[in-house]
Structure 1
Amino acid sequence: MLSFHPAKLVVPHGLAYHHHHHHHHQYVSKPILCSASSSSHHHDHDHNSSSRRSLLLLLPTALSLPLPPYTSASDNNNNTTTPLDTTITDRVFLDLSICPTYFRAQAQSQDVPLCSDSEPLGRVVLGLYGKLVPTTVSIFKAMCIGSSSYKNTFIHKVLPGQFLVGGRQGRREKGEVVPPLGLPQNKETVDSRAFMLDHSRPGVVSLCLSENDDDDDIKLDPDYHNVEFLITTGPGPCPQLDGRNIVFGVVLEGMDVVRQIASIPTYKPGERIKLFNDLAEFLGDGRAENARNLWDRPLKSIYVSDCGQLQVAKPSLTPSLP
């Protein structure tokens, strides 16, 4: 039976080690010469010696076989995944305004101005990827053109240098969203392909999943539809959002408006308040989450004063030659 010393590996004769330039190492097989022993006291070991010689003859061949190349999951994905179709199928707009006074919604109707002295910030035009994530796009379009839309609702959170968030659900009189009935169930939220686009630059529009702050009692409703969205503001990417939120569009016009919103000061709790909040959450006090919903809110009321879909004419056909 073969035995190996645990402390060292003995390279058998016939397996020469050569050192080449550039620190490449290679084992080169050399022929092994085996001669039969004439000593009578070795005859009882002929069988074992023959086995050893067979193994040593095979060992250089085995070591010279190339190892399979290392492959990563990303390499496999790159080789097998078809390019993502980011064709812009629809264009919608959000008119954004700022209310110098405290935003107090007194009426349920979207046609009633909710801020008498609002100052327009400008229009943001979004291009939507309807071929990549059709359900997410159809829901967002419905929220821009339907009777219950984003109109007269808050941009309720701004993280400077990262992104802004709108579309939080709740009560109309608080400037929150009430989605219309009949929206389709969004199965793309469990489709891995829907999460493949990154938040790699300013102006990326995505469905807010990891950053969603709708109240739990709203999320537990069987008819709940997530309509909260975020727009990256720059200047850099937001890798913490990648793989956790569904990118479904891009800002085509109005990045200056987005940057202007990103520059507005927001509410930042002090360390003492954060400690009390952590303690309240540890003790199971539900008010801790409600308090955190106020963090990162703009100190001025920013809201969607109007929204809708832009009808874009089809591009002209290439003239045909006679």
Structure 2
Amino acid sequence: MKSDFYDILRSPFWWGALLVLAAAPFLLPSYYLHIATLTLVYVALASAWNIVGGIGGQISLAHSLFVGTGAMLASALLLKLGINMWLGMIIAAMASGLMGALISFIDHRFRLGHLSFALITLAFAEMGEIIVIGWEFLGGASGLLLPRDTGNIAAFQFGPGRGMFWVMLTLAAVSILANLAILNLPLGYRLRTIRDNENAAEAIGVNLLRNKTIAMVVSAMLASIIGTAYARYLTFADPYQLASPLLTVEIVLVATVGGLGRAFGPAVGALLLIPLGEVLRGKLGGVLPGLHYFVYGAVVIGVILASPRGLLPLIQSWFRTAATTKQNRTPVSVSAARSRRFLR
């Protein structure tokens, strides 16, 4: 497994794909560039969540709390105290990591089941939204309007179009690589053992608290950093968008449709669902109220019914079938070629 990580890092295909994506802002109109940037946001967020929910099997519904902390706290520190947003991002990420550690401790202390853990984390997310909406320092219900993005990198400004696309592309790549690294480290093996059977994992000496906490802290800090960048891209830190538990539901949906526990699964889900949702909203939103939601839901249901484990396993199955078919045909073609050379 460990070689997979290094093979991908050395793979010309991986770096070639990144270069092609990096060139996208020069080719896409502004509307489609926005869709591409939004897709990368969800690739990054779903991949960050996958560390806990997919690899570790802990269905956390608290990630809107971490995204909201990164977005609202970093923005508030900039606007209310004049703290540079780079430093604000680090402070918010550390706060998110501490909250993630607290959630993991509560889970371990009370030995919560999967459903209980999901409900507890949902309660944390709800409380987080209520605190943000009721706390004037964080903007309250009105949110926080960030300064115009002039492309000053020292002030955490990257340019409203191409610059933010490249930032989100970088964060998406980092999140995917974090998944790959964890899957190939001993931590990944331990998390999958915990996911499959906690009692058996503990019996063979796996430290449940330590491994769950590491996964949650890494996931929470990544989500917080992405939240800060997302708020900067939107130029408006809206608590109803960035701190709402509905955001977590979207993240979980994207990761589940793509394929849980796999490094590239959440990315596949985001690449399908986010552009689909945006295009349907633009094309069908004015035709009949709610029609785009109906079509979107029908597509999601169809994908889940066709491949309950996600799109990525289905795609991999197709490639394996194609490769097997090609191998089966190869001896015949080689034999025919040799016969032709003999006849000449």
Report which of the two has the higher share of helix: 2
Report which of the two has the higher share of strand: 1
Larger radius of gyration: 1
